Structure 1
Amino acid sequence: MTRGAAVLGRRQALGLLAGTLTLPGCAQRPLKDPMDSLFDPADPARRADTLLVLLPGAYDTPQDFVRQGFVQAVRARRLAVDLRLPDAHTGYYTGRQIRERLLNEVVRPAREQGYARVWLAGISLGGYGALLFARAHGELVDGVFAMAAFLGRRDLPAAIARAGGLAAWDGELADADPEDLALWRWLRGCAGPPAPTHPPLWLGYGEQDRFVMSNRLVAAVLPPARVLTTEGGHDWVPWQRLWGRFLDAQPWTVA
């Protein structure tokens, strides 16, 4: 597949997800029990105290994080964190399984293994998945970094913008998707201090990203230090820059 075809496929998938959260069966990879996953430890001889979980975008794979230098960026900085890269593809979202799979196959086992800190990071659809999980099980994660996050159907962020932003929005929209409505209500609560139901949220996006309007609505209620922006659109080069800046900040080390 050419790069242009891959980008087109990603855009088509996200457009369908934004409308109905359904995709043609031929576009989905098979669901596996458990999900496929890559694991990269900081030290093969011992478990680190912190686990970073990286969730891919639509039609991306864990191997794309490797090919695009995300794992190498962690190791080049000699960060004492283990990495888990689940193959959380679109099928787990359209099948309404993503939260349960992350809970039972990734986050809960990590806690049982003794990780003191678990952070979720996701790109695009993966950012959406990280946020969905944090809304449902915020007490089990220590933070979220959502990059260029897909944030559901466009009617809801458009209505929030018309209301004057998240802080002014009344939390209602007739005929909104219930899942999206619950997520945006939760995002509105991110304006307050971190709490068990609202672990620290970091946000990153390109200024020309296709989801920039939605991301800016969320960024407006976050502390400025937790909002990372860069030039570029919905592609790997800006995401690489954002990832590097997040790693340099090392927010998981903050008490």
Structure 2
Amino acid sequence: MDQEEAVTAAVLVIGDEILSGRTKDKNIGFIAEYLTSIGIDLKEVRVVPDEEDEIVAAVNALRVRYTYLFTTGGIGPTHDDITADSIAKAFGVGISEDERAIEEMLTRVSRADLTPARLRMARIPHGADLVRNAVSSAPGFRLDNVIVMAGVPAIMQSMMDYVTPTLRTGKRMLSVSLRADAREGDVAEPFGLLAKAYPDVMMGSYPFNDEHGYNTNLVLRSRDPDRLAAAKAEVEAMLAALPGRAGKIP
């Protein structure tokens, strides 16, 4: 693969419990950091309810737009866990109990304990590869560029570790953070000019308040270490030239 080619991804979070606020999502931030660390750019996140039409529409929109689509939630044993069926419908393939998935589950439970509810977790769309997990054994799956994972954070993280060696990755994004010791309003104009001068370096400003008052962190990101270093030097020079770098409300 051309190392300069960007590898992109989206995350689709599935579940009424997320939208209602009963469950607080803990997966998006983990996936975002994980993908950044291996050179995959997370470009979009969506949250949809446990409704087949909504899941199918989102899957079909996102899987053609990005290199990978990661989904979390909706592959458990209950009646409203309909992600696997929805993915099968999105791809126009059948779905049935998969002997490979059953064998995985038998490493944790006896065949007598494979109740109809548990066997729902062995239903895999036809043509999919399993995404194993080291926590509960019930697998996720991968169909083309769609990676379907559990919503339970520990299980999802195990699945990410399993699937990562199979993923295309790009050149890792590098970043530096500079404490401005100035208000965001004081750095906005010169910082904006530098952002235009370095279109290949992503620049963002993030105000915060600490014991010294109001301040700003300036974050620079690029895949090119030389361009990042050059931009960093210019931002540092810009900050050094600012009059009255004080911590006051912008």
Report the structure, 1 or 2, having the larger helix content: 1
TM range (shorter): 0.3 to 0.5
Larger Rg: 2
TM-score, normalised with respect to structure 2: 0.38
Report the structure, 1 or 2, having the larger strand content: 2
